[in-house]
Amino acid sequence: MTAQIESINPANGNTVATYTEMKVKETKAIINEVNQEWLSWRHTDFDHRAKLMHNAASVLRRHKEKYAHLMALEMGKVLKEGVSEIEKCAWVCDYYADNAARFLKSEEVDTEATHSFVSFQPIGVVLAVMPWNFPFWQVLRFAAPALMAGNAGVLKHASNVTGCALAIESMFVEAGFPKNIFRTLIVSSAKVEEVIKNEHVKAVTLTGSTPAGKSVASIAGGALKKSVLELGGSDPYIILKDADLEQAASKCATSRLINNGQSCISAKRFIVVKEVKEAFEKLMIKYMSTKVMGDPFESGTDVGPMARVDLRDELHHQVEKSIEMGATCILGGHFEKDKGAYYSPTILTDVKWGSPAYHEELFGPVASIIEASNEKEAIEIANSSFFGLGAAVFTQDKARGERIAEKEIDAGCCFVNDFVRSDPRLPFGGVKGSGYGRELSAFGIREFVNIKSVYVK
């Protein structure tokens, strides 16, 4: 019997669409077609690729409301955030169209040779295994540099956003790219291993959970194929006693509730020095309680449903367990069973070591406040995490904040007096349990190229 993949509207539980899973023969045929296209694409010049990538940016902007509507249907993203996501996708397309040639320009090296240099050449078909929380952005931040570098792509997207995956494939075709330079594979997670092992797939990039990352890294390593992993995060935000608390609480609340609390780099743990903890708590309640939770299609909605009911239930279990272990719930902490996958904006304070809210990633609209006696202890708590994706420091002493951000915090990116977000101009990725490799900027486009030494005597 042929397997079916369903996309479910998390706001009401209705089926958005049903897709038939591709059989092994079909996926192999698609990958072969992509590889054949790549053999020609690799020889195109940057000007040609850039023209098409600028076209992609235009298509994205032209259809941004349609794409935002699709994301709201499939995973509950609030419409205004969906539009912003598409605009950011257009930005990354334009960015690499404008900069790829410079990033991959050959570098001359002075040796005894008549001519020696380092060249950056495409490697072939790259598999992207992507999550549902930013259905367009996570894909485009890989696809834009990969295609501009002369590679081809195949996408295995999260099953609940299959409609978004197919829309991205169609977007590239509308922009004028060859039909088979970027294709979607409608397969379950169980089929990823055979795709990675396919002889034409040369590398894999994954954004997702740590267990998924370990599995993909193991398979890719066994096949001697490179992988880049952007995994989970439990981002610490340190609030020092000299911080502008209004600014800090406003930005912390915004970060915690972005994408209905479902972002790897949203603020998760708020580590507050004891002198300002009570004041910070009051301000967090103020900013989080004013956010409107409701239908993602309504213009006044700030927080929509979580992407799936099972994810909401898992989050609630983490909240309840943390309360059992000594945390105090000062806002939210509840949901209505029969009204979609909604979870109320929640604040836990006095979170204790050993509890889920202290150590685990809470992938939903729940803030964990942890008290620290001073700066040193705050840094120690921040670094005690298994994760190391993003972090932030709030202090009015910018030199102090910069020192902590650069030298003290174990994370791939650390912001001072602002919330963490990805930017095409800056490398993005984590350390420790949050993965390895980098996306975006010049560093990202060089992840999937052959860094080749050429020596002419």
Query: pLDDT, tens digit, for every residue of 38-89?
Result: 999 999 999 999 999 999 999 999 999 999 999 999 999 999 999 999 999 9
Task: Kindly indicate the confidence band of residue 260, based on its pLDDT and cuts at 50, 70 and 90.
Answer: very high
**DSSP per-residue codes, 44-99:** S-HHHHHHHHHHHHHHHHHTHHHHHHHHHHHH---HHHHHHHHHHHHHHHHHHHHH
Mean pLDDT of the chain: 97
User: What pLDDT does residue 339 have?
Assistant: 85
**3 state DSSP class of 29:** helix
Task: Kindly indicate the confidence band of residue 293, based on its pLDDT and cuts at 50, 70 and 90.
Answer: very high
Average pLDDT over residues 258-269: 96
How far are the Cα atoms of 67, 231, 313 from residue 282, in angstroms, in the given order? Answer: 37, 32, 27
Q: Does the annotation mark 230 as catalytic?
A: yes
pLDDT beyond 80 at 314? yes
- Which residues of the chain does CATH 3.40.605.10 include? 4-231+432-456
Among 89, 164, 252, 264, the active-site one is 264
Task: Kindly indicate the confidence band of residue 222, based on its pLDDT and cuts at 50, 70 and 90.
Answer: very high
Q: What is the rounded CA–CA span in Å between residue 348 and residue 322?
A: 8
Task: Kindly indicate the confidence band of residue 266, based on its pLDDT and cuts at 50, 70 and 90.
Answer: very high
**Which residues 6+ apart lie within 8 Å of 1 measured at CB?**
none
Average pLDDT over residues 434-445: 98
Q: What is the rounded CA–CA span in Å between residue 165 and residue 128?
A: 11
What CATH architecture does domain 235-416 belong to? Answer: 3-Layer(aba) Sandwich (3.40)
Among 21, 37, 81, 230, the active-site one is 230
User: What pLDDT does residue 338 have?
Assistant: 81
Do 175 and 48 touch, CB atoms closer than 8 A? no
pLDDT beyond 70 at 1? no
Q: Does the annotation mark 93 as catalytic?
A: no
Maximum alpha-carbon separation in the chain: 74
User: What pLDDT does residue 199 have?
Assistant: 98
As assigned by CATH, the class of the 4-231+432-456 domain is alpha beta
Other beta carbons less than 10 A from residue 162's beta carbon: 23
- Which residues of the chain does CATH 3.40.309.10 include? 235-416
Average pLDDT over residues 247-264: 97
User: What pLDDT does residue 324 have?
Assistant: 98
HSE, side-chain direction, 13 A CA sphere, residue 261 = 29
pLDDT beyond 90 at 337? no
HSE, side-chain direction, 13 A CA sphere, residue 154 = 29
pLDDT beyond 80 at 165? yes
Token pair 């981002």 is at which residue? Answer: 235
Phi, psi of 96 (to 5 degrees): -75, -30
